[in-house]
C-alpha cells in the first residue's frame, strides 16, 4: 500500500529534469483535461521534451491552463499554434471530430504530431493523414498509451511463451461509472464530433486484442449498441464479437456511462483483459490505466496460480513511477531523434484500427462518424 501511494504521488509530481540544449518543443491544441497526464507531466521528466505553448477556443481558458501548468506561451488560436516558430511538435488533444483538420493543418505547417486516439473520425480520414505525413516526411503517431506499458508487454510475453498453450478466446471490457468522468456536454455525446463508446473506449479493447493475437480480425460476428437517449447515432455502450484467425474469438464490452443499479446505486467501473488459452488463462486488471494500479493473474489449468505486477521493464528505460504516457513519450522522442523506439504504433496499425471501428458501426446498424469537410492546401475533398 505504501508503494502504491508513493508511486501515485510521484505520478502527479514527477521530478523536473534539466533539459538538453535543444529539446523538442511541444504545443498543445486544446486546454484538454487529458493534457496534464498525457503530455505536461511526462515532459517534465524527459530531457528532450518541453511544453512551450497552448491554444484553446477560449483564450482566457488557455491563459488559466498555462498559468496552472507553467506553460510559457499562450497563442490566440489553433491556427497560430500550428504555425508558430516556437514549437516543433503538435500534441492534438482536440475532440475526435477535429483531429483530421488540425492534424492536416499542423502537417501543412511542417510540424510533427502526437495525435490522441482515435486518430480520426473514420478510416478515410486516417488514410489521408498518414499519406500526407509521409509526403511531408513528418511523424504522426496515434497516442495509444496503454500499448507502451510494460505490464501489457508481460501479458503478451506469457502468451507468446506457450506456457498456457494456444490462445482460444479474449474478453476485454472498459466501462465508466455514469456521471464520474463524462459530463453532460462532453464531446463524446455528439455525433458531429465523432463521439460514442466505440470511438472513445472500444479502440482500447480492439487494439489490445490485435496486439495479444499478433493478428487482425477476419470478421465481426456481432455488434450491439446501447444508444444514447438523446441521439441514437451515439453508442453509449457497445458489445462487439470478433473472429480472429485460427478460430480465436474476441469479445469486447465498452460503456461510457454505466447506468446505476436500481436507478440510484453507482455501478463500479470495469477495466480488464482476459486471455483464455488451452491450458489456463491470464486476467489483466487495470489494462487501460496500468500505472495507477494493475495485476496480472496467471491461472494454469494444472499447478499453482500466480500474480505479477510490472511497473518497470526488465531492460530498456523506465522507472516504477513512469505512467503509460511517459513510456509513450520516451518512444515518440526516440522516433523524432531518429532512433528505433522500443514500441511504436505504425500508420498501418492506426489505419487498420479505424477500418475495424468503421466496420463495428456498420455491423451495429449505425452510421460512420462524419468525414471532415476540411480541404488541405492543394488537396481534395475527402
CB proximity list for 185: less than 8 A, separation 6 or greater: none
pLDDT of residue 281: 99
What is the distance between the alpha carbons of residues 54 and 81, in angstroms, rounded to a whole number?
7
- Residue 264 confidence (pLDDT): 79
- Give yes or no for residue 8 having a pLDDT over 90: no
| Per-chain mean pLDDT for the chain | 96
pLDDT band at 90 (very low <50, low <70, confident <90, very high): very high
Active site residue 117: yes
Per-residue confidence band for 187, with pLDDT thresholds at 50, 70 and 90: very high
Task: Give the tens place of pLDDT for each residue, 250-299.
Answer: 999 999 999 988 787 889 999 999 999 999 999 999 999 999 999 999 99
- The pLDDT tens digits for 196-249 are 999 999 999 999 999 999 999 999 999 999 999 999 999 999 999 999 999 999
Residues of CATH 3.40.50.720 domain(s) within the chain?
Answer: 1-144
According to the model, what pLDDT value does residue 303 have? 94
In the chain, % of residues over pLDDT 70: 100
Give mean pLDDT, residues 308-331. Answer: 96
Determine the pLDDT at residue 11.
83
Structure confidence by residue, pLDDT tens digits, 327-362: 999 999 999 999 999 999 999 999 999 999 999 999
Are 97 and 33 a contacting pair, CB within 8 Å?
Answer: no
Q: What is the per-residue DSSP string for 322-365? A: --HHHHHHHHHHHHHTT---SS---HHHHHHHHHHHHHHHHHTT
User: Per residue in 105-149, pLDDT tens?
Assistant: 999 999 999 999 999 999 999 999 999 999 999 999 999 999 999
Measured over the CA atoms of residue 222, residue 226, residue 230 and residue 234, the dihedral's sign is negative
Catalytic option among 61, 63, 117, 166: 117
At 307 the pLDDT is: 99
Report, as an integer, the average pLDDT of 69-77: 98
Q: What's the confidence (pLDDT) of residue 363?
A: 99
C-alpha cell at 244: 480472429
Listed in sequence order, the residues at least 6 apart from 268 whose beta carbon sits closer than 8 Å to its beta carbon are 177
Q: Which CATH architecture has domain 146-324+345-363?
A: 2-Layer Sandwich (3.30)
- Which tens digits make up the pLDDT trace of 296-312? 999 999 999 999 999 99
- CA-CA distances (angstroms) from residue 76 to 23, 39, 62? 24, 21, 9
- The CATH fold assigned to 1-144 is Rossmann fold (3.40.50)
pLDDT tens string 17-36? 999 999 999 999 999 999 99
The CATH 3.30.360.10 domain(s) of the chain lie at 146-324+345-363
Amino acid at each position: 500500500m505504501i508503494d502504491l501511494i508513493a508511486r501515485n504521488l510521484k505520478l502527479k509530481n514527477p521530478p523536473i529534469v534539466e533539459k538538453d540544449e535543444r529539446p523538442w518543443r511541444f504545443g498543445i491544441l486544446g486546454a484538454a483535461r487529458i493534457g496534464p497526464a498525457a503530455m505536461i507531466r511526462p515532459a517534465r521528466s524527459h530531457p528532450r521534451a518541453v511544453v512551450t505553448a497552448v491554444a484553446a477556443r477560449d483564450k482566457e481558458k488557455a491563459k488559466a491552463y498555462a498559468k496552472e501548468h507553467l506553460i510559457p506561451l499562450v497563442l490566440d488560436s489553433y491556427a497560430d499554434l500550428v504555425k508558430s516558430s516556437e514549437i516543433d511538435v503538435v500534441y492534438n488533444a482536440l475532440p475526435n471530430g477535429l483531429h483530421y483538420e488540425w492534424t492536416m493543418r499542423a502537417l501543412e505547417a511542417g510540424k510533427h504530431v502526437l495525435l490522441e486516439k482515435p486518430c480520426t473520425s473514420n478510416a478515410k480520414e486516417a488514410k489521408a493523414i498518414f499519406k500526407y505525413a509521409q509526403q511531408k516526411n513528418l511523424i504522426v503517431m496515434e497516442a495509444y498509451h496503454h500499448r507502451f506499458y510494460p505490464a501489457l508487454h508481460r501479458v503478451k510475453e506469457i502468451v507468446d511463451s506457450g506456457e498456457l498453450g494456444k490462445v482460444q478466446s479474449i474478453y476485454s471490457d472498459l466501462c465508466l461509472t455514469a456521471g464520474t468522468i463524462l459530463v453532460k456536454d462532453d464531446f463524446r455525446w455528439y455525433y458531429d464530433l465523432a463521439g460514442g463508446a466505440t470511438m472513445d473506449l472500444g479502440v482500447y479493447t480492439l487494439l489490445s486484442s490485435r496486439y495479444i493475437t499478433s493478428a487482425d480480425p477476419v470478421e465481426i460476428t456481432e455488434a450491439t449498441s446501447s444508444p444514447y437517449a438523446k441521439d441514437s447515432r451515439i453508442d453509449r455502450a457497445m458489445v462487439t464479437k470478433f473472429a480472429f484467425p485460427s478460430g480465436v474469438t474476441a469479445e469486447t464490452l465498452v460503456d461510457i456511462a454505466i447506468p446505476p443499479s436500481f436507478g440510484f446505486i453507482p455501478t463500479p467501473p470495469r477495466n480488464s483483459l482476459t486471455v483464455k488459452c488451452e491450458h489456463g488463462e491470464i486476467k489483466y486488471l487495470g489494462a487501460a490505466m496500468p500505472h495507477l494500479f494493475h495485476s496480472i493473474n496467471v491461472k494454469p489449468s494444472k499447478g499453482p496460480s500466480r500474480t505479477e505486477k510490472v511497473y518497470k521493464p526488465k531492460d530498456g528505460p523506465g522507472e516504477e513511477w513512469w505512467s503509460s504516457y511517459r513510456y509513450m513519450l520516451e518512444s515518440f522522442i526516440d522516433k523524432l531523434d531518429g532512433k528505433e523506439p522500443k514500441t511504436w504504433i505504425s500508420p498501418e496499425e492506426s489505419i487498420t484500427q479505424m477500418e475495424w471501428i468503421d466496420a463495428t458501426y456498420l455491423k451495429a446498424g449505425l452510421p460512420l462518424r462524419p468525414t471532415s469537410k476540411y480541404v488541405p492546401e492543394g488537396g481534395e475533398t475527402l
